[in-house]
Structure 1
Amino acid sequence: MPAYLQIVHQVEQALRMGALEEGDKLPTAAQVAATTKVNPNTTLKAYRELERLGLVEVRQGSGTFITRTLATPQTAPESPLRGRLGAWMREAREQGLSAGDVATLFDAALGEIYPDHPSDLSFIARS
């Protein structure tokens, strides 16, 4: 997946989890480049995509700001669904699964339940 789309997905995920909220300012492209070694143009491309999606607005001379949230009560840290998912992950860890194992299991289940969702395993033909 291209780096700019990874940034887009990370911002979308932060919006769904409530880690970013309407009015929050995103770091500058230079700040992102300094902490991640991603080219500033890649970050700018991601921010343009987020703007196209209506999630951010660029305020000339002020920065890039979140314009809406994707969070729902079901994705909040205190939601029952998130609690059950956390419990399942703790159980998986106790069973000796690595974070990569859990991510693979989750991605496989996500692809089964949501077949139209882009997946890290999308190159594998589903039968």
Structure 2
Amino acid sequence: MEGDVVEYRIDRGSGVPAYVQIVEQTERALRMGTLRVGDKLPTAKEVVAACAINPNTVLRAYRDLEQAGLVELRRGLGTFVTRSLASPAAEDDTLRADLADWTARARAAGLERADILALVAAALDHHEQQQQEDA
């Protein structure tokens, strides 16, 4: 998938179907601004080769993304992003930089990806609970 904007990683031990992982990773890239309107997604063949999954799995994910209005399948050309999920807020750049720094520190401290995700999820849960209590 050389030169593509997004590179999918399938976690076979997660219990989450591969097509859902592709959809979620695409949505994450759209939120982060890694994928932008007009960008081309990797071909199904490229994803199959990189992730060792069934072509129908990739096609199902791309169909789900198309039904959500996020991508457009152009016969003979590929699959292209049609809508962004990125926040237009200027503060996002600062937050992303802070998060990148924090993530680097967490990795340097020996935390694995799952540990980092669990910490972020716990922090979000705590924040949302506090907001509900304050409301």
What is the TM-score of this pair, normalised by structure 1? 0.75
Of 83-92 and 4-13, more deviation after overlay is shown by 83-92
Matched to 2:101, the amino acid is A
Report what 1:53 is aligned to.
68
Of 61-70 and 93-102, more deviation after overlay is shown by 93-102
Report what 1:37 is aligned to.
52
Deviation at 1:91, TM superposition (A): 3.6
Report what 2:6 is aligned to.
none
Matched to 2:93, the amino acid is S
- Equivalent-residue separation in structure 2 for 1:75 and 1:51 (angstroms): 28
What is the TM-score of this pair, normalised by structure 2? 0.71
- Equivalent-residue separation in structure 1 for 2:90 and 2:17 (angstroms): 26
- Equivalent-residue separation in structure 1 for 2:122 and 2:67 (angstroms): 30
Matched to 1:2, the amino acid is P
* Cα shift readout 1:90-126 (whole Å, capped 9, x = no counterpart): 44345443333222211222344458xxxxxxxxxxx
Report what 2:111 is aligned to.
97
Contact persistence 1:22–1:68 (CA under 8 A): yes
Report what 1:25 is aligned to.
40
Instruction: Go from structure 1 to structure 2 and tell me whether the alpha carbon gap of 1:114 and 1:7 turns closer, same or farther (over 3 Å shift).
Output: farther
Deviation at 1:41, TM superposition (A): 0.3
- Equivalent-residue separation in structure 2 for 1:66 and 1:21 (angstroms): 7
Matched to 2:27, the amino acid is E
* Cα shift readout 1:37-93 (whole Å, capped 9, x = no counterpart): 0111000000000001100011122211110111124598x7121222233334434
Contact persistence 1:22–1:69 (CA under 8 A): yes
Structure 1 unaligned residues grouped into runs of 5+? 116-127
Matched to 1:55, the amino acid is L
- Equivalent-residue separation in structure 2 for 1:82 and 1:55 (angstroms): 22
Where 2:83 maps in the other structure, the secondary structure is: coil
Structure 2 unaligned residues grouped into runs of 5+? 1-15, 130-135
- Identity between Structure 1 and Structure 2 (%): 53
- Equivalent-residue separation in structure 2 for 1:46 and 1:82 (angstroms): 27
Structure-to-structure mapping, 1:1-127, within 5 angstroms: 1-74=16-89, 79-113=93-127
